[in-house]
Amino acid sequence: MDSSLAGRSALITGAAQGIGAAIARLFAAQGARVVIADIDEGGGKATAAAIGEGGGEARFVRADVTSGADLDAAVRATVAAYGRLDIAVNNAGIEEQGGSALHELTEEAWDRVMAVNLKGVWLSMKAEITQMLAQGGSGTIVNMASVAGLVGLPLGISGYSAAKGGVIALTRTAAIEYAGQGIRVNAVCPGVVRTALLDQAINAGIFTEPEAATLHPTGVLISPQDVAQTFLYLASEMSNHVTGQALPVDAGMAAG
């Protein structure tokens, strides 16, 4: 078995930047035909253009993951472009502003993080699974969770942690529910990843890079490309018998 995705179609939400963009580029490099779904039109189109300039095949569709209609349209666009939906990566999400204790978190902030990070994954899976079943079954779904959904962290991110824990539970339940139809469902649980959001926090003086790295037992930050490799593993034939798993890419955080 190998990691080739040649000839397979993939819908990736939240791929305008960061980890999602890294996943889209890697999948395209492995032969997948990619649809990038994101609310950020500029970033999404730029990611698709970069893939095309590198010899890959990608297109962009605007989608808000809190809208079931948008996600249905994104799936239809994938099928219209490539004939079917083979792989879905539900990566879109937002960061909760750290430092707020649970009792200080506003209802508005709670509802927003749940709408994007948990409801958005459910709506995405609902549209994707409906299409995969219409194709006669089979398909692969990989959801973006977090190490914060696996262990408690004293970082003031209770809403984010709850949403990511919900994604893990949803992943496991869906894996069992659709195993008989040949649809595999897994999740990836990254630790602290070197993205633009982390850089902004470092530049704002919230913490230093060494302080961020010390959250990992290895003392090293994770790159978006590191996380993308794990998504590739779960989307490819290398993981044919892997389903219902929440796979940490966390430099040892969940082991503590």
Residues known to be catalytic:
160
| Cα 141 from chain centre | 10
* Residue 86 three-state SS: coil
Of 52, 63, 48, which Cα lies nearest the Cα of 128?
A: 63
> What backbone phi and psi angles, to 5 degrees, belong to 216?
-95, 135
Which residues face 187 on adjacent strands?
143, 246
> What backbone phi and psi angles, to 5 degrees, belong to 196?
-60, -35
* Contact yes or no for 170/125 (Cβ under 8 A): yes
Helix (H) or strand (E) segment spanning residue 66: none
* Contact yes or no for 193/151 (Cβ under 8 A): no
> What backbone phi and psi angles, to 5 degrees, belong to 21?
-65, -40
Q: To 5 degrees, how large is the angle CA 149–CA 220–CA 223?
A: 70
> What backbone phi and psi angles, to 5 degrees, belong to 139?
150, 165
Phi-psi bin for 187: left (phi > 0), alpha (psi -120 to 50), beta?
beta
Q: To 5 degrees, how large is the angle CA 229–CA 231–CA 236?
A: 95
